Amino acid sequence: MRGAHVATISVRAPDGSIVTHEQPLNALLYRGRISKTPFLRGIVGLWDALGLGTRALLWSADVAVGEDEKVDFNGPLGWGTLAFSLLFGIGLFFVAPTAIASGLEVLLSVENTFLINVIESGVRLGILIGYIVLISLLPDVKRLFGYHGAEHKTINAYEAGAELTPEVVSQYPIEHPRCGTAFLLMVVFVSLVIFSVIGRPPLLWLIVSRIALIPIVAGIAYEVIRFTAKHMDNRLIQFLVKPNLALQHLTTRQPSLEMIEVAIVAFQLMLTTENKAAVLDHTNTVVISSEN
């Protein structure tokens, strides 16, 4: 669970207890001007999708196998994991679809720029869905997706003002409009529009342009997700976000009550720390850290 000051993680340890970790978040990235500037704050969303989430998984995996250790997500491990995640994500979801579409363009003698960009976006979406489907076959990933569902249910219950108990939270929807999966799908759609504008230069420059435009694509996608999440009472918006919510069923599973209990612990820890930090910020004192 992520707030403005801290990210919290809860894991069910081998002995059945729930182990928690609090990670203070970079003030410049999460509370500075970047986080408040439209389109630029999409960088934070990209960081969450690729960096923070991956490193949290590494820590939780250590706990799950009984190798709990103190870890700083802002240290060398954090930056190294982020670099690997970015390179892997860029290669798989941007470079590969561009290369495949360019090959089809030559093979099929396609001269319509918009059509080949549609094909490229289709390939990108296919790779995204195929990747999720393949990893979901792994038992550990299935369990991870159950915890993802528990996270969504917990946030939905909190936003509805419900009591945060496993039995109550279990009754809430498994989808959430601000999910990272929805963000990734929106990136695919926004990239179709943006990439169509610049045409199709030679392959090398085409790949360079795709990579260079990732922050712009992510920024626009993030703003669209924020806008739709704030207007979910509008019927048109409800219709437009159906693909986003449907895709979430690939990355979520109905959680057990034990999974929901873990999600609630993480959420309540985050909420408590954020409330304390808000008070300290208001009194101009040092923001609370994970050691308190």
pTM given for the model = 0.83
CA distance 239 to 258: 33
Q: Could you say which DSSP state residue 48 is in?
A: I
Supply the pLDDT for residue 222: 87
Helix (H) or strand (E) holding 242: helix 242-251
Helix (H) or strand (E) holding 136: none
Residues 8 and 33: beta-carbon distance below 8 Å: no
Supply the pLDDT for residue 30: 76
Picking from 50, 62, 157, 52, the residue whose alpha carbon sits closest to that of residue 93 is 50
Half-sphere exposure (Cβ direction) of 15: Cα atoms closer than 13 Å: 6
In angstroms and rounded to an integer, the radius of gyration of the C-alpha atoms of the chain is: 20
CA distance 131 to 127: 6
Which residues is 8 bridged to in the sheet? 22
Give Cβ neighbours of residue 85 (< 8 Å, ≥ 6 apart): 50, 51, 54
Dihedral sign of CA atoms 232, 233, 237, 241 in order = positive
Tokens coding 16: 């059945």
Which residues is 23 bridged to in the sheet? 7
Helix (H) or strand (E) holding 256: none
Query: Nearest 5 degrees, angle CA 245-CA 224-CA 42?
Result: 105
CA distance 31 to 51: 17
CA distance 198 to 167: 52
Tokens coding 278: 């808000």
Supply the pLDDT for residue 129: 92
Tell me how crowded residue 88 is: count the other CB atoms within 10 A of its CB: 12
pLDDT tens for the chain, residues 1 to 292: 888 888 899 998 888 899 998 888 877 777 778 778 888 887 766 766 666 777 777 778 777 766 655 555 556 666 776 677 778 888 998 999 999 999 999 999 988 988 999 999 999 999 999 999 999 999 989 999 999 999 999 999 999 999 999 999 999 999 998 887 888 888 888 998 898 888 888 989 999 999 999 889 988 998 998 899 899 899 999 998 898 888 899 999 999 999 999 999 999 999 999 888 766 665 443 333 333 3
Q: Could you say which DSSP state residue 111 is in?
A: -
Tell me how crowded residue 178 is: count the other CB atoms within 10 A of its CB: 16
Supply the pLDDT for residue 154: 97
CA distance 15 to 179: 31
Supply the pLDDT for residue 170: 97
